[in-house]
């Protein structure tokens, strides 16, 4: 499908917010995900992958920006780039604090940067765009789980990290279809899209597991067998690993799938008002 024959892209609000978060010294507990050992390391590892990952997404989409003829999609691409650049900046600030707390976020960041630089050199641009669309599906699925499941929100307590991740989740939902629609508009095939998603799934799970184990290895608390086993056992009940989340991620492999198949309109309306309305919790964070 080419940009001349693709169906018009529906209007969506993809707004770049000038927002900043702060993590003063001693403001976060070491195991900031409600004291959970393993989940604290998982969240720290995911945060560590975001800055370079977001930069990669921007490069992959921007490569095709001049080929987009649909005016609505062109505007959404601008919003997508603005949001992703801001996400990278804010996660770098969080990662600096997590590094000071003993998490190996800088090491993970350097490794991700090296791996994505290799992808830039060795993968065709359309495959990199397909990779971006696939990873955006992961972030939207996890983000919308955070926004829709009270158990997921409770895991993050009341810290600034919770507020930052709610904002990030909201914007991932807002722009979840942008890279996908760019991929379609420039002629990306279903076969390549699905093949790349399968590759991404293996890599995402393997790297997240490896980096989490690496992070745990540097934490003295992980050498308490009772605490470690209890935390690992608790993963079975994590809202992020629930069957419906796994099925949603797998839905991407269905021919004809589109991110808008999962309607998030009501979720976006609720959280936009709650975070950025007149009495929004994050209204004072926006500059």
Give the whole-angstrom CA distance, residue 94 versus residue 91: 5
pLDDT in tens, 117-132: 999 999 999 999 999 9
Query: Mean of the pLDDT values across residues 241-252?
Result: 96
Give the whole-angstrom CA distance, residue 167 versus residue 169: 5
Query: Mean of the pLDDT values across residues 127-156?
Result: 96
**pTM to 2 decimals?**
0.94
pLDDT in tens, 157-203: 888 999 999 999 999 999 999 999 999 999 999 999 999 999 999 99
Query: Mean of the pLDDT values across residues 252-278?
Result: 96
Residue 16's CB is within 10 A of a number of other CB atoms, namely: 15
Query: Mean of the pLDDT values across residues 69-97?
Result: 97
Alpha helix (H) ranges present in 101-189? 105-122, 125-148, 150-155, 160-174, 178-185
* Burial (0-12, 13-18, 19+ Cβ within 10 Å), 80: buried
**pLDDT for res 1:** 38
- Residue-averaged pLDDT of the chain: 94
Give the whole-angstrom CA distance, residue 53 versus residue 59: 10
**pLDDT for res 4:** 40
pLDDT in tens, 22-75: 988 778 899 999 999 999 999 999 999 999 999 999 999 999 999 999 999 999
**pLDDT for res 6:** 62
Structure tokens at 69: 């003829």
Sign of the torsion formed by the C-alpha atoms of 79, 83, 85 and 86: positive
């Amino acid at each position: 499908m080419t940009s001349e024959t693709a169906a018009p892209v529906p209007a969506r609000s993809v707004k770049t917010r000038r927002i900043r978060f702060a993590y003063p010294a001693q403001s976060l507990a070491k195991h900031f995900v409600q004291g959970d050992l393993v989940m604290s390391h998982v969240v720290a590892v995911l945060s560590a992958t975001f800055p370079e990952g977001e930069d990669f997404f921007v490069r992959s989409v921007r490569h095709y920006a001049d080929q987009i003829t649909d005016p609505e999609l062109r505007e959404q691409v601008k919003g997508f780039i603005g949001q992703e650049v801001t996400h990278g900046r804010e996660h770098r600030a969080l990662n600096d604090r997590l590094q000071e707390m003993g998490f190996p976020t800088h090491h993970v960041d350097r490794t991700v940067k090296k791996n994505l630089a290799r992808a830039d050199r060795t993968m065709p641009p359309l495959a990199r765009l397909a990779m971006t669309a696939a990873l955006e599906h992961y972030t939207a699925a996890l983000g919308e789980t955070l926004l829709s499941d009270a158990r997921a929100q409770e895991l993050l307590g009341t810290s600034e990290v919770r507020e930052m991740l709610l904002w990030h989740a909201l914007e991932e939902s807002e722009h979840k279809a942008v890279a996908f629609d760019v991929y379609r508009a420039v002629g990306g095939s279903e076969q390549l899209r699905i093949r790349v998603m399968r590759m991404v799934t293996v890599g995402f799970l393997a790297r997240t597991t490896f980096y989490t184990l690496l992070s745990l290895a540097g934490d003295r608390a992980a050498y308490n067998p009772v605490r470690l086993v209890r935390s690992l056992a608790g993963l079975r009940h994590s809202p992020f690993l629930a069957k419906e989340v796994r099925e949603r991620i797998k839905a991407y492999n269905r021919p004809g799938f589109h991110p808008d198949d999962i309607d998030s309109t009501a979720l976006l309306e609720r959280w936009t008002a709650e975070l950025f309305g007149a009495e929004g919790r994050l209204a004072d964070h926006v500059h």
